[in-house]
Amino acid sequence: MERDRARGQRPPPSSSSPSSFSFRRSTPRDSRNFTPSWSSQDEARNRNRSNSDSRGRWSRNPLPQTTSSGGLNYGGASAVQVENAEGSCLDVPSLVGTCPSMCPAQEMAQRERLRDLAVFERLHGNPAKSSPDLAVKKFCRTLSTKDVRSSDLRPLSVLESTLDYLLNLMDSTEEPFEVVHDFIFDRTRSIRQDLSMQNIVDRKAISMFEKMVQFHVLSHHKLRIIKPSPYYDISSLHYLNMEQLVKTLTSLYNLYELNRNPDSVYNNEAEFRSLYVLFCLNPTKGESLALWFRQVPAHVIRSKEMMFARRILRYFRMGNYKRFLGTVAAEASHLQFCIIEPCINQVRALAVSCINNSCYKLHPYPLADLSNLLMMKELEVESLCNACSLDVTVDNGGNKILPTKQANFSHPKTGFDNYSFPYLKQSDKNR
């Protein structure tokens, strides 16, 4: 049933008039009244009635862009503290969940009848049989607090254990990553839905949102490098994952502010805040990023994670490829690298272009030196040069060289191959 659903993916993204959502900083409020903060309540109700949410028109660009209001524009619905489409209902008292298992018994029985069980939920592989240790509550788009009972909601302790169970599947399963991702993607949305309905906004909620952001960031990296699947539209999965990453990160930022007090320090806040800056490696307006910095606490601005992100952004915009690559290899955290990684080959191509245009024509550039500069294997450097329509030759000593002043340099139309990077190997060992 999960694969059947995946086969019915929506059509490719359309670039026509997408709606937008953005990162916004909310005003801290009493946690008992923590409800989704849309641009207006009428807009939220209209969006729910039309069921447009984030499944409106698509954008071809999977990376968010900064808006003039200081947030990220991503071609979807408006992302806020905890998404209204995730199931919260405005002006309705919060509930307290009493469901003791990962999936309510009534839902599990219904899905067994309908044979609507994911591969991870099937008892001994039986598509019509599950157990409380395997079944996980699915996300329901139209669910609201007016229609749900306390027995349908999982309390915080159950949500924490459910999230840990889901994230353990990332490394403990033999299923293809796109299958694992699709399952965790849906079930973590259900977790966020239960948190929203119960107005759970304490430090434990912050920890859970940090883990879910981490899942989406790692998926952002892995979905870029996996091979095409006959059952899944990988580009669609990548788009939807990016959409939920922006929404989850938005909710996390607002939870930081909601729980802020003079003595509050969140150990991971600086790293997660730095991800916003790294998203701006795409073309952005400097004014909007400057406005965003005014909203970030001073101790976060001074943190090593944020200083790293700002240096990377500066090197990227200046075209300083040597410092960009060296700083990423030496200082990037694993999450930061997953956001930066799509830009690394762009920077390498810039370096090749600069060397080709600036070096003396009678002195070809040795490929071994270019390999050290670009932090690539020599065979990969040759592949990159060929992809950029540059010829590589061999000198009298048998060494490969790049003749300079070639006039036919161009960026590959089909994109870059997945070249290695020394930090990638190191980070994978640490995971």
Q: What is the mean pLDDT of residues 54-62?
A: 35
326: how many CB neighbours lie within 10 A of its CB?
A: 14
Q: Say how many Å lie between the first and final Cα of the chain, rounded.
A: 31
pLDDT at 43 over 50: no
Alpha helices by DSSP H, listed for 145-268, are 156-172, 177-197, 203-225, 234-258
Q: Strand ranges (DSSP E) for 201-295?
A: none
pLDDT > 90? residue 363:
no
Distances, alpha carbon 431 to alpha carbons 118, 227, 253, 403, in Å: 26, 22, 25, 41
Phi, psi of 73 (to 5 degrees): -100, 125
- What's the one-letter identity of residue 37? S
Query: What domains can you pick out in the chain, each with its CATH number?
Result: 2-262 (no CATH), 319-430 (1.25.40.990)
Helix (H, G, I), strand (E, B) or coil at 395: coil
Q: Tell me the per-residue pLDDT of 296-351, one tens digit each, with 9 for 90 and over.
A: 999 999 999 999 999 999 999 999 999 999 999 999 999 999 999 989 999 999 99
Rounded CA-CA distance 36/83 in Å is 6
Lowest mean pLDDT among 55-64, 373-382, 412-421: 55-64
Tokens of 3: 């694969």
**Tokens (6 digits) for 164:** 């840990």
Asked if residue 390 lies in contact with residue 408, where contact means CB atoms within 8 angstroms, the answer is yes
**pLDDT digits 0-9 by tens, 92-113:** 456 899 999 999 999 999 999 9
Total length of the chain: 431
Model confidence over 161-194: pLDDT tens digits? 999 999 999 987 789 999 999 999 999 999 999 9
Residue 120 has what DSSP assignment? G
Confidence of residue 145 (pLDDT cuts 50, 70, 90): low
Do 89 and 305 meet the contact criterion of CB atoms below 8 Å apart? no
In this structure, are residues 208 and 160 in contact, taking their beta carbons and an 8 Å threshold? Answer: yes
Q: Please, where are the H alpha helices in 332-377? A: 334-358, 367-374
Cα separation, 215 vs 185, whole angstroms: 9
128: confidence class by pLDDT, cuts 50, 70, 90: very high
